[in-house]
Structure 1
Amino acid sequence: MKRLLVIVVVSAIFAVGFCQDFTEEQKKRIIQNRQECVAETKVDPILIEKADLGEFPEDEKLKCFTKCFYQKAGFVNDKGEVQLDVVKAKIPTEADREQALKIVAKCQLKGKDPCETVYLIHKCYYTHTHPVATEEPAAKEKPNKTE
C-alpha cells in the first residue's frame, strides 16, 4: 500500500531523515524550518529524535517545536488549527487521498493551548500512519520441546 499523505506530508517532514522523497529545495526548507523552530523553542534535539521514532515525551518545548514546524509548513495557523486547504493541496498524487483525509478528520484534536493541540494532532497522525508503533509485537515463537 502506498504511503498516506500524513506520512509523506506531515509525519515524514517532521523528521529530516525522511527527506529523500523531497526535492533539494524542499529538503533545504525542511531543514531550515527545523533549525529555526529549535532555536525559537529551545527544545532539546534529543526529544525531537524520540518523537521522530514514535516516543512522545510530555515536554512543553517539544510541543511548541511541533506547532512551530507545522506552522512554518503551512499546515496549521497560529491557533493550532489545521489548514485543510493546504493539507489537501499537498497530498501527493500517489497517496490514498480518501484514506489520508479520513485520518486528518479523525485527528482534529484540541489541547489546552495551540502547542498542545498541534502536538496531539501530530501524535494522532503518527499513530494512524505507523501501525508497527501501535500494534503488539507478533507472538514470539515458542520453543519446540523435543524431550
Structure 2
Amino acid sequence: MASKIWGFTLTLLVLCFVIKAQQALDIPDVVKKQVKKMHARCMSTTGLSEELMNEAHKGKLPSDQTFKCFLHCMFDMFGLVDHNNDMHLDSLLEVLPPEIHPNIKKLADACDMKKGADGCDTVYQAVLCYLETDGAFIADAMNDLLG
C-alpha cells in the first residue's frame, strides 16, 4: 500500500508541471527528488527537448508527439493510465486528503474518458481537459516541485 500511496502522490505532482497553483504545496524534498528523476527518465526515453519542456512550463502545451509521449510516460509510471490507455485519475481518491476529493472527482469525471489517436495523444487530451476544467486547482506546485 505504501508504494501505491507513493505512486499516486507523485502522479498528482506530475499534473502540476503545466498548471499554476493558487496556493503553495508543501512537498517533501524526497518526493521532489523522485519526481525529478522520473521527469528526467521520461524526457530521455521520449527524446523530449528542453525547448519543448520550457514551453510547457510557460503554460503552453506543445502538441508535439514527443511531449505527448512524455506525458504518457509519466502517467504510466504512476499508474494513472492502464494498458488500454484508459485514464484513472480517480485512483488518487484513495490516497489524497478528503478535502481535495471534489477537485479530483471533477477532473476525472470531465476528462478521464477522453480518447486520442494513440496512448500518448489520449493522455495529452486528458491533460488539456484537466487544465480547461480546473487548472487553478494545483497552480504553483510545479515550480515548487521542479524548481
Structure-1-length-normalised TM-score: 0.70
Which protein has the larger Cα radius of gyration, Structure 1 or Structure 2?
1
Q: How many angstroms does 1:93 deviate by?
A: 3.6
Answer 1 or 2: which has greater helix percent: 2
Q: How many angstroms does 1:103 deviate by?
A: 1.8
Larger RCO: 1 or 2 (CA < 8 Å, sep 6+)? 2
The equivalent residue for 1:72 is: 77
CA contact (8 A) 1:41 1:64 kept: yes
Note if 1:88 corresponds to 2:99: no
The equivalent residue for 2:144 is: none
The equivalent residue for 1:102 is: 106
Contiguous gaps of at least 5 residues in structure 1: 132-147
Q: Which whole-Å CA distance do the structure 2 matches of 1:25 and 1:117 have between them?
A: 30
CA contact (8 A) 1:11 1:126 kept: no
Note if 1:28 corresponds to 2:30: no
CA contact (8 A) 2:14 2:74 kept: no
Q: Which whole-Å CA distance do the structure 1 matches of 2:50 and 2:83 have between them?
A: 23
The equivalent residue for 1:53 is: 58
The equivalent residue for 1:40 is: 45
Per the alignment, in what secondary structure is the counterpart of residue 130 of structure 1?
Answer: helix
Letter of the structure 2 residue corresponding to residue 56 of structure 1: L
Per the alignment, in what secondary structure is the counterpart of residue 124 of structure 2?
Answer: helix
Q: How many angstroms does 1:90 deviate by?
A: 3.5
The equivalent residue for 2:120 is: 115
Sort the Cα spacing of 1:93 and 1:49 in 2 relative to 1 into closer, same or farther, 3 A.
farther
Q: What fraction of aligned residue pairs are identical, expressed as a percent?
A: 27
Contiguous gaps of at least 5 residues in structure 2: 1-8, 137-147
> Aligned pairs, how many?
122
Any residues of structure 2 matched to 1:5-16 within 5 Å, and which?
Answer: 9-12=13-16, 14=17
User: Which aligned segments of 4 or more residues in structure 1 are displaced greater than 3 angstroms?
Assistant: 17-20
CA contact (8 A) 2:42 2:74 kept: yes
Q: How many angstroms does 1:11 deviate by?
A: 2.1
